[in-house]
Amino acid sequence: ELAAGAVILGAMALSGCETMSEGECLAGDWSRRGYQDGQAGHALDRVDSYAQACSQYGVTPDARAYHAGWSQGVVLYCRPENGFQVGAEGRSYNGVCAGQRTERGFVTAYQDGRTVYDAQQALRSAESSVSSLGGRLAELDEKIIHFERELRAPGLTDAQRAQIRDRIGELRAEHRSTERDWRRAQDAVAEAERHARDVSFYMRGRYGR
């Protein structure tokens, strides 16, 4: 049940061929590479991608050494404090802690970290909306000024002036609507800031970060 939840939480194991140079393939040291991959939270079947990459050089990875190194490295990855960090940075979890005694603690901490990450992402999204709407307001201001200047040009017919006035009216209506959206977006930023601050304060107390 927990393992199934872990799959939902994160992306599936990396697919495709890992890039390895001929020198890396020939050097081997598969135990060390497995350790590094385990500590980084990569799936165990990553060695299959190494095998594919190194086959062109006539090299076959030592799967047993890789697995042994990976098993040691993944223990460090699966610490709950690391789970929180992985989640807070928005990184995916590949379910590599399944079967580890720390799995439950890791997944709980990962979810807490994702809460922090999601709160920060919501704040960035709200700030982006304010910036986008502010830019649109500036564009509308420039267009209104342009058409007001055009309206004062000599030699225009009544029909032309009416057409320009209609355009100015449309722009001002859009400006009012956009300004309302901009103010609502500012309120959303304030709310997102409060939420992110509260989440951060709570998690700092829980994880000491």
Residue 184 has pLDDT above 80, yes or no: yes
pLDDT tens digits, 48-101: 999 999 999 999 999 999 999 999 999 999 999 999 999 999 999 999 999 999
Q: Which residues contact 22 (CB under 8 A, 6 or more apart)?
A: 57
Are 17 and 52 in contact by the 8 Å Cβ rule? The answer is yes
> In angstroms, rounded to a whole number, what is the distance separating the alpha carbons of residues 86 and 108?
12
Q: Which residues contact 54 (CB under 8 A, 6 or more apart)?
A: 20, 25, 60, 61
Average pLDDT estimate for 101-106: 95
> In angstroms, rounded to a whole number, what is the distance separating the alpha carbons of residues 106 and 81?
7
